[in-house]
Structure 1
Amino acid sequence: MLRVLMVSKACYVAEYRKKLRALVEAGDIELGLVVPPFWRFGRDVAPFEPGDDEGYRVFILPPRFNGRVHLHYYPGLGRVLAEFKPDLVHLDEEPYDLVTFHGVRLARRVGATALFFTWQNMLNPIPPPFSWFQRAVFAGVAGAIAGNPEAEQVLRRRGFTGPVAVIPQFGVDPGLFRPEPRPRSGPFRVGFVGRLVPEKGADWLLEAMAGLEGDWELVIVGGFGSDPAVRRQIEARLRELGGRWRLLGPFASGQMPEFYRSIDVLVVPSRTGRRWKEQFGRVIVEAQACGVPVVGSDSGEVPRTIGDGGIVVPEGDVLGLRGAIRRLMLDPTLRQILGRLGRSQAAARFSHRAIAEQTRRFYHRLVLSRA
């Protein structure tokens, strides 16, 4: 029996912890989870969401510097390590974060193997002390999980030589995210999930919709960014659409399946920035699991995640974006075909069970290599 302790701030979300249930189903892993009681997002607080955590232990530890992604850490982690006695410590954070550096040092003290996770798919400069943290982490771990192929390439270019598995951080539950069994009526509904900011391509989407003829409605889950000037620009573009849009605000994870089942297409028109591009596109997988085709830009991992379950257009190509949406609006058969392909892909590649199985195998590989 392999004893694994995962340290993950993201696992305050109950839906994400379904991967942990899948990890222990094989019966060869005894799992513990260190997670905060809540996580701060500026002035907002996201509490730990109750869920079905049977089969593994949950250690709720308050982090120091809660809300600081790169600077938080758990003062009580050493006590948990001494109690749980893991063979492997899975630090579900970037290698340049303080929490990862702290966790690797403590794991070494108790003789445990360690690994980290990374989404970072751009070779951005890392200043001290974070570059120092990364150097120590690279030297102290047995391996790493990269959320996408470009993240693995970035690790190699930064000098990491250990084993790397390319596995998304979390999957989707195809039983919860499933297609609507009955056909819907009403206008063609175009969905957008995320902040209405330039990096998410909100301006491109609104421009594309402004020139789209036919009976349609744009439905948005999310809110505005923090830049007042950008908000004014987005609001002006929304007014150009007349009454053909609805802004629903942010949704909890449990509300998302119903939203996806209410739309005909999800649009992910992301824009590559100087320091950021799409690293996965979880909303793509969720929509596809619900049988909804996706139209996305070719930013970062969007094309790879969409796969056969949608249409990819070049970044910034408003006419191409509008044309892809129009094509799906006018062709229900194509929507059904892409919806079925996306659903099949989501279940096979991106389910919690599929991701957990890949992760479980990598755990055993790392521990055996250190034996």
Structure 2
Amino acid sequence: MKILVIGHTYIASINRIKWQVFANKLNNIQVKVIIPKFWPASLFNINAGDYKKDNLNNCEFIALKTRLAGNEVLYSYKFLDLYKILKSYKPDIIYVEQGDNAFSYFQIILLAKILRLKSKFTFFTWVNWHHKWSIKYKLVWSFIEKFNLKNSSGAIVGNSVAKDILINKKFLKNIEVLPQLGVNERYFYPVCHPELAVPDEALREVWVSGSSQITIGFIGRLVSEKGIWDLLKVFLDLSKKHNNLKLIFVGSGKEKDNLINFIKKNNMQDNIEFIPSILHEQVGEILNKFDIFVLPSYDTPEWKEQFGHVLIEAMACNVPVLGSNAGNIPDVIKNAGLIFEQKNLSDLNNKLELLICNKHLRKELSEKGYNLFLKNYSYDYIAEKTYKFFQEIL
């Protein structure tokens, strides 16, 4: 089986492990992964770097120049570059991780048809909300979306709502619900791995002494819809009753200055810390400083939490998680953490205080989260499910 993957996600070296694991598990397959040479993102501008070092005998990464990099829907590759790869490789499956309406997906389908290849086409999407498209989009871009869907043999979606949206578009072919990425265990692991012969009490200092500092953490964009103001206000309230609390925000965004001013006004500088945006490879180290991880996002008409990948990274680090019921967060956490009603400060307060005061519950949820990560979110699991899906559409 020869597979051609297109996706900007793999411009980041840490994410390439997905296809390395896939290739290592399956000797009867070949994988080529096309990535942009450069991708401007909200936090970092990312270059493909020395991507060839990540190649395996049956897994090759290919970096190409693009137009309109940074826009998942609009960006494209040079037709001639794609044409040459398709003509020489002749893939059995073409898998584009840019959504059903991506121009790059349209490109590759069109070129494969020109070459009269017998490739099966499939795509990945996270989108779990209904866009409000402009008239221009409906007149022009809707044609591309319909063309892509018509020629697709199946889809992998990151959440159940994305599946429902595709079905509403009359896409009735095979749809697999599966996260795009798992967790790279080279960077995300417990401070003291469960397999080591260390007493449970040693896993976290806070479990040893109820008076130890309890660190509550958030990692993500510092924007309102991430629920950061709700978390801050609840933290200020709980700090009046518990003098051993610390809150850490990791990330950047337009609300950062407003948050800092609010904290200074309330004289909470000693209890709240900001860490600027860090490399993905460094996130695990920060997560292991947390006793509780909170993702308090809320839905807006234009956006919903599509997955909340940092949740499963926290689980892989044995950190108990608390999330809102926004977007796909409850489906990710399942029964391995606590859920509160989005934008409900009272509910957030109660659930967070429960975790603060109950070290046994923290321990129980951290173990459940770690086991859930191993079962549903490891790259071995994702490789097996992806391969089964590819077999089904051939």
- Partners of 1:107 and 1:114 within 8 A in 2: no
The amino acid that maps onto 2:190 is: P
CA distance in 2, matches of 1:73, 1:39: 12
CA drift at 1:238: 2.7
CA drift at 1:64: 1.3
Question: Closer, same or farther in 2 for the Cα pair 1:188/1:43, shift >3 Å?
Answer: closer
Select between 285-294 and 9-18 the one with higher mean Cα deviation: 9-18
CA drift at 1:277: 0.6
Which residues of 2 match residues 174-193 of structure 1 at below 5 A?
Answer: 174=185, 176-181=187-192, 182-184=203-205, 186-193=212-219
Question: TM (normalized to structure 1)?
Answer: 0.93
Partner in structure 1 of residue 220 of structure 2: 194
- Partners of 1:207 and 1:237 within 8 A in 2: no
Which residues of 2 match residues 327-366 of structure 1 at below 5 A?
Answer: 327-366=354-393
CA drift at 1:235: 2.8
CA drift at 1:234: 2.5
Partner in structure 2 of residue 116 of structure 1: 123
Question: Closer, same or farther in 2 for the Cα pair 1:191/1:43, shift >3 Å?
Answer: closer
CA distance in 1, matches of 2:186, 2:369: 15
CA distance in 1, matches of 2:298, 2:263: 19
Which residues of 2 match residues 48-197 of structure 1 at below 5 A?
Answer: 48=48, 50=51, 52-54=54-56, 55-75=58-78, 76-110=81-115, 111=117, 112-126=119-133, 127-128=137-138, 129-174=140-185, 176-181=187-192, 182-184=203-205, 186-197=212-223
- Partners of 1:142 and 1:366 within 8 A in 2: yes
Partner in structure 1 of residue 34 of structure 2: 34
SS at structure 1 position matched to 2:222: coil
The amino acid that maps onto 1:35 is: I
2:285 counterpart of 1:258: yes
- Partners of 2:105 and 2:148 within 8 A in 1: yes
SS at structure 1 position matched to 2:312: helix
Aligned length: 362
- Partners of 1:174 and 1:347 within 8 A in 2: no
CA drift at 1:41: 2.4
The amino acid that maps onto 1:104 is: I
Select between 147-156 and 169-178 the one with higher mean Cα deviation: 169-178
Question: Closer, same or farther in 2 for the Cα pair 1:192/1:231, shift >3 Å?
Answer: closer
SS at structure 2 position matched to 1:115: strand
Question: Closer, same or farther in 2 for the Cα pair 1:152/1:31, shift >3 Å?
Answer: same
- Partners of 2:43 and 2:252 within 8 A in 1: no
CA drift at 1:44: 4.7
Instruction: Select which of 285, 290, 293 maps to 2:317.
Output: 290
SS at structure 2 position matched to 1:123: coil
Stretches of structure 1 lacking an aligned partner (at least 5 in a row): none
Question: Closer, same or farther in 2 for the Cα pair 1:308/1:195, shift >3 Å?
Answer: same
2:267 counterpart of 1:234: no
CA distance in 1, matches of 2:131, 2:169: 10
The amino acid that maps onto 1:262 is: K
SS at structure 2 position matched to 1:250: coil
Question: Closer, same or farther in 2 for the Cα pair 1:340/1:53, shift >3 Å?
Answer: farther
Measured against aligned partners, the alpha-carbon deviations of 1:308-349 in whole angstroms (never above 9, x if no partner) come to 221000011112112222111111111111000000001110
Partner in structure 1 of residue 229 of structure 2: 203
CA distance in 2, matches of 1:349, 1:43: 28
Stretches of structure 2 lacking an aligned partner (at least 5 in a row): 193-202, 207-211
- Partners of 2:35 and 2:62 within 8 A in 1: yes
CA distance in 2, matches of 1:52, 1:100: 24
RMSD over aligned Cα atoms: 1.7
Question: TM (normalized to structure 2)?
Answer: 0.88
SS at structure 2 position matched to 1:102: helix
The amino acid that maps onto 1:148 is: N
CA drift at 1:43: 9.1
Instruction: Select which of 307, 310, 322 maps to 2:334.
Output: 307
Instruction: Select which of 250, 266, 270 maps to 1:243.
Output: 270
- Partners of 1:200 and 1:270 within 8 A in 2: yes
The amino acid that maps onto 1:123 is: H
SS at structure 2 position matched to 1:142: strand
* Identity fraction in percent: 26
SS at structure 1 position matched to 2:205: coil
Select between 211-220 and 237-246 the one with higher mean Cα deviation: 237-246
CA distance in 2, matches of 1:108, 1:366: 18
CA drift at 1:62: 1.1
